[in-house]
Amino acid sequence: MNLTLTRLPHYEGVQGPLLLIILDGMGLYRGRDRGYPGNAIELAAPPHLCRLLKNEKISTRLKAHGTAVGMPSDTDQGNSEVGHNAMGAGRVFAQGAKLVDDAIESGSLFEGKTWKRIIANSLAAKTPIHFIGLISDGNVHSNISQLISLIGQCDREGIEEVYVHGLLDGRDVPPISALRYFGELEDYLWSLCSRAKKMGKKRLYCVASGGGRMVTTMDRYEADWSIVERGYHAHVLGMGPKFPNCFTAIRSLRDKEGADDQYLSHWVIHKPGSADTPLAQIRDGHGVVLFNFRGDRALEISRAFVEDDFTGFKRIYRPEVIYAGILEYDADTRMPPEYLVAPPAIDRTLSEYLSKNGVSQYAISETQKFGHVTYFWNGNNSAKFNEKLEEWVNIESDRVPFDQAPEMKAEAIASETISALQSGRYKFLRLNFPNGDMVAHTGSMSAAVKAVNAVDRALGRLIEAVDRLGGTVVITADHGNCEQMIAVDEKTGRAIMGPGGEYKPQTSHTLNPVPFIVHGPDTDRYELSSILDPGLGNIAATILLLLGYEKPDDYLESIITLKD
């Protein structure tokens, strides 16, 4: 495979370092409501970012959702994983949700060897199949329609027992919406059981355990193993507060804890007539499928099931099961070893091209987004392409709720990056400020405003440092979030008021475009290209142009061109 880049004939590229700054979750609100009160960026009025947006000659908007990042349709939100995939790959690949949708629609998922093995084992040993994952249609980590398809196939193939260990969303969907999704799931499970009973067949299809996604099962980057521990023991052993059904569990915990769905404690369904006995436990010989398709919050629970030398927490009991993810979540570590749908094969990423052509690189973020500027940027590959030319820095995130420390590690990221810039060792540097995304997910407007200001202060420091070195800065975001923190009525375009006279919060990603800005001494030499609706996938070719290289033939076009 030839990875040699061709030099541009009339442009050597930027003279100083080239720094790409990714403002995670900081989109550009495009609603019709001119008095919209939910834009944390507008409320913060960050001076450095506002000045750049207003004054820079090279400034535009990029699509960061839907088909522009490989999602099934333009009604689907973008997310950090697919956003960084597109930025780093220079092309758009069918992503998690679309991959699984296509595999279900074509039937290839059910013809795969892993699915067939799970079904055959369950039929032969008369053991249950367990499904673990997020119950919502947010289409960021999972989609309930895919779970229903999997369960429906179990019924058609004669599986007698199916248990769902469902996690509450409230993050990629409205904060209080779990009863809607669990109601849809319970209706479907009941219909299968009722029909089977009329036909004289046995079906026991039930919800068995659950909990809010931010406190149960779905940790990432080893930030807090206790989240995985409580979920694992709830799902496997039935350890936790017992309730007769999922509706009672959700309502009771809401009343007790006063929290949004994503933060509700874990819970377990007990057997009818036995309040202390869990309805279902995961035992030897069972099949277990994690139906989340996004990888970051699927890795740790997968490791808890499959690793022999696991050290994340003390497993009270480790059942010998057939465990599969709906996707392979990490190609480099082969986690999990068995999966239902093969992930997209993303090769020849920007980093690989640069490494093979002798361009030194630097990547940095804090723990919450470190994998995004490394693993996802590199095409779902957790290894460097050249150890000598690449430096990765992970600043450990604070283990406190993000709305309590909205500044996060922005200053530390800026300081480390400035040191790297001043060292002169790196030509291309990239960083991610997670604040706009992670803090906006909490729903706290005041915290989000502080987060935006913290990022802007760091941005100002970085611009100043790069200017001193004669370098160039590219600023963008991977998706929107904090610019639209109050729900908007699709028909009127107005912010939605709740029954109590307060605005209805929105904690999910958005469909808004994101900024794209180039700041540096050569901007007079560039002009925006004539691309219709450029997206995140166009950034890689733009980086190559700024470094003085032609893009590979199959890369998307550059957002800028050189003036004649």
Distance separating alpha carbons of residues 30 and 26, to the nearest angstrom: 13
Is residue 80 part of the annotated active site? The answer reads yes
Residue 235: both structure tokens together:
């799902």
Q: Which of 80, 136, 351, 397 is catalytic?
A: 80
Distance separating alpha carbons of residues 198 and 251, to the nearest angstrom: 32
Distance separating alpha carbons of residues 231 and 167, to the nearest angstrom: 9
Residue closest to 343 by CA, chosen among 136, 540, 64, 97 = 97
Cis link prior to 336 (omega < 30° from 0)? Answer: yes
Distance separating alpha carbons of residues 155 and 220, to the nearest angstrom: 33
Contacts of 173 (CB under 8 A, 6+ apart): 136, 137, 138, 181, 508
Do 146 and 136 touch, CB atoms closer than 8 A?
Answer: no
Distance separating alpha carbons of residues 452 and 372, to the nearest angstrom: 20
User: Which ranges in 238-298 belong to alpha helices (H)?
Assistant: 246-257
Distance separating alpha carbons of residues 33 and 22, to the nearest angstrom: 27
Residue closest to 167 by CA, chosen among 185, 152, 192 = 185
Distance separating alpha carbons of residues 9 and 13, to the nearest angstrom: 11
Contacts of 446 (CB under 8 A, 6+ apart): none
Distance separating alpha carbons of residues 98 and 79, to the nearest angstrom: 14
Q: How far is CA 41 from CA 23, 89, 481, 554, in A?
A: 11, 29, 10, 36
Count other Cβ atoms within 10 Å, centred on residue 137. 18
Residue 176 identity (one-letter amino acid)? I
Q: Dihedral of the CA atoms 183, 188, 190, 192 (nearest 10)?
A: -170
Residue closest to 368 by CA, chosen among 416, 432, 419 = 432
Do 142 and 173 touch, CB atoms closer than 8 A?
Answer: no
Residue linked to tokens 């980086």: 543
Q: Write down the number of H helices and E strands in the chain.
A: 17, 18
Residue 451: both structure tokens together:
């987060």
115: phi then psi, degrees, rounded to nearest 5: -60, -45
Q: Which residues are catalytic?
A: 80
